[in-house]
Copies of this chain bind each other. A is one copy, B any other.
Amino acid sequence: MAAETSIRKLPSLSGLRHRRNPLEDNPYFHPSNGFYITPSDVILAQVAYDHSAHSQSRVAYHRAGPRREIMYEPSAVKAAIVTCGGLCPGMNTVIRELVVGLWELYGVREIYGIPAGYRGFYSMKAVKLDPKAVHDWHKKGGTVLATSRGGFHLQKIVDAIHLNGYNQVYIIGGDGTMRGAVEIFKEISLRKLEVGITVIPKTVDNDVGIIDRSFGFQTAVEMAQEAISAAHVEAESAVNGIGLVKLMGRSTGHIALHATLSSRDVDCCLIPEMDFYLEGKGGLFEFLEKRLKERGHAVLVVAEGAGQEMIPRNESQKQERDESGNAVFLDVGVWFKSVLKAWWEREHPDELFTVKYIDPTYMIRAVPANATDNLYCTLLAHSAIHGVMAGYTGFVPGPINGNYAYIPLEEVAQTKNQVNTRDHKWAWVRSVTNQPDFETNVKG
């Protein structure tokens, strides 16, 4: 079974001169053979395949890590670090490790934090950073550089990069930020500027494609357990009590899925990837009626993006967009609370019924990274530095099948990591919750 493997080409800066990697003299690394990664070291995208199938073409990505030769004179590097979009556990650790990594591994001394997202490039004073300044940032939630949505003016940003002489730009952000980074990368190439640009994907929803998972996701699932236990206690302590928890997940239900599987106190988990319906045979109300009869309580976990199309909107709400251009979601939790109360009022006017709605979003987003995410953020940041130093640009560092690789930015920006409601994990969620199989049930 011969298998042809195509290696994803990485954009790289051409005009720079090769130099010896300072790691050679680093007191801690004294690299032995196999330490430096060569251009032919690759990571296979796909490890699970059908051995009997005729030859299939396979994809591989360049392996992350330090190269024997780098393309920058460390003393000439001027690096900019910027954080965009919503908060996510681990942002401060990534910033810290970019600063400490540039400083300790490559001897870079000009490292600047761009305040408040993309707009910071052209409207705010950059902040000089060094290991001492960022010493204990990994113990703080959020981003000390501050962040914001929107403010993306391509020309102003690239002008600012150029005027300030940044030749390495490290962007930490989600899908909206990535789309912006693609434009910045193209504009820089158009202007033939020798600027290396990389994006470290930040999405607590874990919805970025190709890489194994996004940083902060595991910390978020851990914190979600507190909200689900509280909802479970509130529901159990009431007569016909429903505990309703809204979890992050605009277009993907990974946090809801993982939190449900880890908790096992959840009766129904609703995610954006799966349609559901309320009334009639096989609907949610029928299921909740049965569950309340059996156990007297139920816990409902809903991803923020689930059922959005079912929520009635007035005209202005239909048009509304947030600063990143995303359709403004209505609070599916508040809506669920009202439709559940209306349903019960209609069906059981004289019986007790309470819905306790918990939205733990900010109490989840704002915590520091846990130990696992802290280490993951460190390896992500170092991979990014090694890649930029090697002259690569327009790439995203990330683990593929557990091994760190460099993925073309444009490829990542177009992919989405959706929950596959046909695979084992989602089947096991429904088996753990015994919730209706909305997708199969024909609406009564």
- Chain A positions within 8 Å of B, measured between CB atoms, are 1-3, 5, 7, 26-30, 32, 34-35, 38, 40-44, 47-53, 60, 63, 65-66, 87, 91, 104-105, 115-116, 119, 136, 138, 140-144, 146-148, 151, 212, 218, 221-222, 224-227, 229-231, 233-234, 236-239, 241, 243, 258-259, 261-264, 296, 352, 354, 356, 358-360, 362-363, 365-367, 370-372, 374-375, 378-379, 382, 400-403, 422-425, 427-428, 430-431, 434, 437, 440
Q: Across the interface, do A41 and B48 meet the contact criterion of CB distance under 8 Å? A: yes
Complex: chain B residue closest to A140, CB-CB: B233
Q: Using known A-B contacts A147-B237, A236-B144, A362-B356, determine if residue A422 contacts B35 with beta carbons closer than 8 Å.
A: yes
Cβ distance A266 to chain B, nearest Cβ, rounded Å: 13
- A436 CB to nearest B CB, Å: 9
- Complex CA gap A226/B365 in Å reads 12
A21 to chain B, nearest CB (A): 13
Q: Are A40 and B28 in contact (CB under 8 A)?
A: no
Contact B87 A63 (CB under 8 A): no
For A91, the chain B residues whose CB sits under 8 A away are 237
B142 touches A234 (CB 8 A): yes
Question: CB distance A262 to B366 under 8 Å?
Answer: no
Q: Can you offer 21 A-B residue contacts whose CB atoms are under 8 A?
A: A2-B2, A28-B431, A35-B422, A40-B50, A40-B52, A41-B48, A47-B400, A48-B63, A91-B237, A141-B229, A218-B218, A218-B372, A221-B371, A221-B375, A222-B370, A230-B363, A234-B366, A262-B371, A262-B375, A360-B363, A379-B425
The answer to whether B230 touches A5, judged by C-beta atoms less than 8 angstroms apart, is no
Closest-CB distance, A338 to chain B (whole angstroms): 14
Given contacts A51-B5, A116-B239, A352-B148, contact A28 B424 (CB under 8 A): no
Q: Which residue of B lies closest to A62 (CB)?
A: B51
Q: Are A234 and B87 in contact (CB under 8 A)?
A: yes
Q: Is the CB of A366 within 8 A of B258?
A: no
